[in-house]
Amino acid sequence: MQVKVMKNILRANDMLAEEIREILKQNNVRMFNVLGSPGAGKTAVLEAILPKLQSLGKRVAVIEGDCATSNDADRIAVFNVPVIQINTGSGCHLDANMIRKAAGEFDLSQLDIIFIENVGNLVCPASFDLGEEAKIAVISVTEGDDKPLKYPRIFNESQLVVLNKIDLVPYTNFQRETFYTALESSKAGAVCYEVSCTKEEGFEALINYIK
């Protein structure tokens, strides 16, 4: 019963996601679904790249997902971009229905890129297609070098991985070799960019990927 309902929910979600993908394509808008644990630095990565994309003339909007508070949307609003906060309560992920509603609030003809910041969770968001062009997994050094092995699905589903907080490597037991071996076993040929949001380092490759 539980499995059947879940399958029905996922099928309905995927159909809606395809609709969203089609609408975005018609409007020449690219959408990225940013995933990761609580505190991995998803918002901080957006804060780092938003001004860079704006200086390249890109018109960006953001959909923020969190269980509670509008903290992340408030941080993003500083950049003077359209931003919508979705609070999921005890919900552990965003779904396509939430994104369709939120994206409907934007004037798509005035946008080039939409970023979705998913609920902080390294498990559930992997199962839900939101109509994005690509999933970007953000993982931080302080979470440990074994995470791609223990939570393989989100890394397997993501087109790009951003390894954040590399400035903290010297203060932890994080081993790059262990991490990249784990990542490769979750997704052969995975692409990963290393960044530090606090030191504002390493964003060139990410900007090139997105623009």
Rounded to the nearest whole angstrom, what is the least distance from the CB of residue 67 to a second copy in the complex?
5
Return the number of the residue (66 or 112) whose C-beta is nearest a second copy: 66
Does position 42 interact with a second copy (CB under 8 A)? The reply is no
Q: How far apart are CA 175 and CA 179, in angstroms?
A: 6
Identify which of residues 94 and 113 has a Cβ nearer to a second copy in the complex: 94
Percent of the chain that is helix, strand, coil (3-state, to 5): 45, 20, 35
Q: Give CA 144 to chain center in angstroms.
A: 19
Q: How far apart are CA 83 and CA 73, in angstroms?
A: 6
- Considering only 7, 9, 176, 200, the residue that binds a second copy (CB under 8 A) is 9
Binding to a second copy, residues 56-115 (CB under 8 A): 66-69, 71-72, 90-92
Nearest C-alpha neighbor of 61 from the set 5, 129, 109, 3: 109
Q: Tell me if 1 contacts a second copy by CB under 8 A.
A: yes
Task: Print burial letters for 112-148: b (CB count within 10 Å at least 16), e (below 16).
Answer: bbbbbbbbbbbebbbebbbbbbebbbbbbbbbbbebb
Closer residue to a second copy in complex, CB, 137/206: 137
Near a second copy in 188-207, by CB under 8 A = 198
Q: Which residues pair with 85 in a beta bridge?
A: 64
Q: Give the separation between CA 12 and CA 15, rounded to whole angstroms.
A: 5
CB of 199 to a second copy, least distance (A): 11
Task: Tell me if 14 contacts a second copy by CB under 8 A.
Answer: no
Is residue 167 a contact point for a second copy (CB under 8 A)? Answer: yes
Q: Residue numbers of the site for a second copy (CB under 8 A)?
A: 1-2, 5, 9, 37-39, 66-69, 71-72, 90-92, 119-124, 126-127, 140, 142-144, 146-147, 149-153, 165, 167-168, 171-173, 198
